[in-house]
Amino acid sequence: MLPEERRLSILNAAKEMFAINGYHDTSISDIIKRADIARGTFYLYFKDKREIFDALFDQLLQKINESLMRVTIAPDQKPPLDQIAENLHRIFQLAMNDPELARILFRHAPGLDSITDQKIEGFYNKIASLVEGALVLGEKMNIVKKGDFKLISIFITGGVKEIMDRITRPENHMPQIDKIIKELIDFNLQGLASGTADIVQTQE
Partner DNA sequence: AGATAATTAGACTGACATGTCAGTCTAATG
Partner DNA sequence: CATTAGACTGACATGTCAGTCTAATTATCT
> Which chain residues interact with a copy of itself by CB under 8 A?
22-25, 78-79, 81-82, 85, 106-113, 117, 135, 138-139, 142-145, 147-148, 151-152, 154-163, 165-166, 174-175, 179-180, 183-184, 186-197, 199-201, 203
**Which residues have CB under 8 Å from 164's CB, separation 6+?**
91, 92, 95, 102, 106
**42/92 with CB nearer DNA:** 42
Q: Which one, of 155, 189, 190, 193, lies nearest residue 81 by Cα?
A: 189
The size of the chain, in residues, is 204
Q: Is 73 in the site for DNA (CB under 7 A)?
A: no
**36/148 with CB nearer DNA:** 36
- State the binding partner of 119 from a copy of itself, DNA, none, CB within 5 to 8 A by kind: none
d(CA 195, CA 190): 10
Q: Which one, of 10, 15, 39, 173, lies nearest residue 104 by Cα?
A: 15
Q: Is 41 in the site for DNA (CB under 7 A)?
A: yes
State the nearest-atom distance from the C-beta of 27 to DNA, in Å.
4
Q: Is 38 in the site for DNA (CB under 7 A)?
A: yes
Q: Is 74 in the site for DNA (CB under 7 A)?
A: no
**45/54 with CB nearer a copy of itself:** 54
d(CA 115, CA 177): 32
Q: Is 56 in the site for DNA (CB under 7 A)?
A: no
| CA 80 vs CA 68, 70, 131, 169: distances in Å | 13, 10, 12, 30
- State the binding partner of 122 from DNA, a copy of itself, none, CB within 5 to 8 A by kind: none
State the nearest-atom distance from the C-beta of 88 to a copy of itself, in Å.
12
d(CA 96, CA 65): 16
State the nearest-atom distance from the C-beta of 129 to a copy of itself, in Å.
13
Amino acid at the residue 169: R
Q: Is 34 in the site for DNA (CB under 7 A)?
A: no
**Which residues have CB under 8 Å from 143's CB, separation 6+?**
80
Contact set with DNA (CB under 7 A): 1, 3, 6, 27-29, 36-41, 43-44, 48-49
